[in-house]
Structure 1
Amino acid sequence: MSMLKFSKFFAIAFSAALLAASGASAAPAAAAAKPSIVLVHGGFVDGSGWEGVHKILKKDGYNVTIVQNPTTSLADDVAVTKRVIAAQPGPVVLVGHSYGGVVITEAGNDEKVASLVYIAAFAPDKGESVNSLIKDPQPGAPVPPILPPQDGFLLLDKTKFAASFAADLKGETAAFMADSQVPWGVGALGGAVTEPAWKAKPSWYLVAKDDKMIPPPAQRLMSKRAGATVVETPGSHAVYVSRPQAVADLIKQAANKVTVAAK
């Protein structure tokens, strides 16, 4: 190859490399325009139930991380969640289901958290815990089939799990969730919120209208008190599993507000 041809080849190759590099640098910048999504599960389950929501959000270009909180104590669960928040590249939309709502209410005070999304979740005020929120149920409210504590942990009665927690899931799915329950620490139910993040940050709330674990009227009261943007959908307590599109759509509403604010 002559020196002239080699020079032309080098120039073309170098230009192509520059274009590739500029494209590569543009891709993370585009991705950074969207906030990260952090999903927090509740009691009796682990993070695998978020799979459907995760797939939708990932397909739409979001960075998504699922917290595997141990549900042993509120302090432990908040610490695990905050470690995940710290690892995210930018602002975070923090999402909690059920008891996960207590976790995000406390962990959401982290400066990286831009907004909160509650999915059929507890949204406690200062000094409140799961125990204080459930101690005076409304007359006629369904009673979750919680078995007596064993070694400081709680489980749901397997034979009643589907009806109370997952009535709108296929029988084999609900049965698997019942058989794979994660023991919920009694201490976690007593963990009180020190400062509710929803007082300082925008929040969204999905009410599951057929919930037999956290009664829908209680969900409405908590969401109203938090000043949340509320949507309601048919669904059991496992609405995040049975209706992942509805859940993902609400999360994207919250994320879009963060994206607009960042521009």
Structure 2
Amino acid sequence: MKKTSTFKSLGSLILFTISFMLLSGFSTLSAQSTKTIKNVVLVHGAFVDGSGYRGVYDILSKKGYHVTVVQNPLSSLQDDVDATKAALDRQDGPAILVGHSYGGSVITEAGDHPKVAALVYLAAFQLDAGESALDWAMTEPGSPKNGILPADDKGILYYDKKKFHEGFAADIPKEQADFMYASQGRFAVAALAAKVTKAPWKTKPSYGIVATQDEAILPSIQRKMYTKGNAKITEIKGSHAVFISHPQEVAEVIIRASKEVK
């Protein structure tokens, strides 16, 4: 009788132990599957600098994200890629890599970095290997509101002051757009024409934000690139400076990527 009782107790203990281990394992797997990526690296495009991301930075930081803003030298595609990869090297784990405008070329070339978990194209060029931003920009007639001036004798592109507000940032106050014009980066035309050598979005998740009132990169071109690149598309009613005028909506796409990517 005692042996039977002992065996029953032992059996109950074994069943309890197995059940506990299974439940613990399930809980661990569940926690892993719902883990949110907390690193975000933001890359700006031409004619601006990283300060335009302040609104997006504030929103993400308050939600516990570790945000790094790259300051591109804009002197060449390779220089900008090097700056971006240096920022990625400093991350303590996987990161969501975000690029605006020409910054899409940069994150495409830098996106094979092992810490990049997903790419977010923000009114940006999502290129295939062998393509340049200039290639895609020329696939349709440009908007008459676009104010990119011909390159000067040093191969530098600037934006026309008369067209900056309407053509680049129509949905932010003119005073703010005037300051952006005055502080625009020295952008080498060679960077715009440089062809990327890889397309990491073919093996990593990608997200595309279409700025539906964009006069710099036409919304129709953005849609074509994102569709070709199999990106998850979000449309926001905004100008090319949509990252400034609609930081909440932009941040929501980044947050979505951080939660969906495994």
Global fold match (TM > 0.5): yes
SS at match of 1:50: helix
* Separation in 1, partners of 2:36, 2:47: 35
Aligned to 2:10: none
2:57 maps to 1:54:
yes
1:185-200 → structure 2 map (5 Å cutoff): 185-200=188-203
Uncovered stretches (5+) of structure 1, i.e. residues with no partner: 1-31
Aligned to 1:202: 205
Structure 2 CA distance for partners of 1:50 and 1:202, relative to 1, 3 Å: same
Uncovered stretches (5+) of structure 2, i.e. residues with no partner: 1-34
Superposed CA deviations along residues 206-239 of structure 1, whole A, max 9, x for unmatched, are 1000000000000000010110111101000000
SS at match of 1:161: helix
* Separation in 1, partners of 2:236, 2:115: 29
Question: Is this contact kept in 2: 1:130–1:190, CA < 8 A?
Answer: yes
* Separation in 2, partners of 1:239, 1:134: 18
Aligned to 1:69: 72
2:105 maps to 1:102:
yes
Superposed CA deviations along residues 117-155 of structure 1, whole A, max 9, x for unmatched, are 0110011111001121122324x7446211222211110
* Separation in 1, partners of 2:237, 2:130: 31
Which of 144, 147, 157 is the equivalent residue of 2:146?
144
2:252 maps to 1:249:
yes
Which of 144, 155, 158 is the equivalent residue of 1:155?
158
* Separation in 1, partners of 2:219, 2:37: 31
Aligned to 2:187: 184
* Separation in 2, partners of 1:148, 1:164: 16
Superposed CA deviations along residues 161-198 of structure 1, whole A, max 9, x for unmatched, are 00000000011111111111112111101211101111
2:122 maps to 1:112:
no
Superposed CA deviations along residues 92-141 of structure 1, whole A, max 9, x for unmatched, are 10000000001001100111100000110011111001121122324x74
Residue identity opposite 1:59 in structure 2 = K
SS at match of 2:178: helix
1:15-26 → structure 2 map (5 Å cutoff): none
2:249 maps to 1:232:
no
Q: CA deviation at 1:71?
A: 1.1
* Separation in 2, partners of 1:78, 1:191: 12
Over the aligned positions, Cα root-mean-square deviation in angstroms equals 1.3
* Separation in 1, partners of 2:118, 2:74: 22
Aligned to 1:121: 124
Structure 2 CA distance for partners of 1:33 and 1:239, relative to 1, 3 Å: closer
SS at match of 1:133: helix
Residue identity opposite 1:230 in structure 2 = I
Which of 24, 30, 42 is the equivalent residue of 1:39?
42
TM-score (norm 1): 0.84
Q: CA deviation at 1:79?
A: 0.8
SS at match of 2:248: helix
Aligned to 1:217: 220
Q: CA deviation at 1:34?
A: 3.1
Question: Is this contact kept in 2: 1:142–1:213, CA < 8 A?
Answer: no
Which of 89, 92, 102 is the equivalent residue of 2:92?
89
Aligned to 1:7: none
* Separation in 1, partners of 2:97, 2:139: 28
Structure 2 CA distance for partners of 1:240 and 1:162, relative to 1, 3 Å: same
Residue identity opposite 2:150 in structure 1 = P
Percent identity of the aligned residues? 51
Aligned residues: 227
Question: Is this contact kept in 2: 1:142–1:215, CA < 8 A?
Answer: no
Aligned to 1:12: none
Asked which structure has the greater CA Rg, the reply is: 2
